Amino acid sequence: MSELTAEVVAEEMYKVIADAEGKKNLKPGDVTKAMIAKYGADCSKDLCKHSIRILIDSGRCVYSYLGGSYIQLPPKNPQG
């Protein structure tokens, strides 16, 4: 099996975060646990941290602070 990359994990994390949008706020640890459950030993916490950083730096996800730190999709800005 090929080595798991941060970009692949970031894409899967994005799917998990998008699926939870409006239903549940996910902490970084929740997303990390989901990826480790999916990929097992191929996925480390450091790889997950790097993947989260990719999502945040690209603007695909944002941190929100609601009594704790959560990862969410950025708010939609209405045009016009």
Task: Please give the pLDDT value at position 3.
Answer: 82
pTM of the model: 0.88
pLDDT (average), residues 46-58: 97
C-beta contacts of 22-31 below 8 A and 24+ residues apart: 25/64, 25/66, 25/70, 25/72, 26/70, 26/71, 26/72, 27/68, 27/69, 27/70, 27/71, 28/52, 28/69, 28/71, 31/71
Residue ranges and CATH numbers for the domains of the chain are: 6-72 (1.10.10)
Convert the pLDDT of each residue in 19-47 to its tens digit.
Answer: 999 999 999 999 999 999 999 989 999 99
Mean pLDDT for 56-78 is 91
pLDDT at residue 80 greater than cutoff 50: no
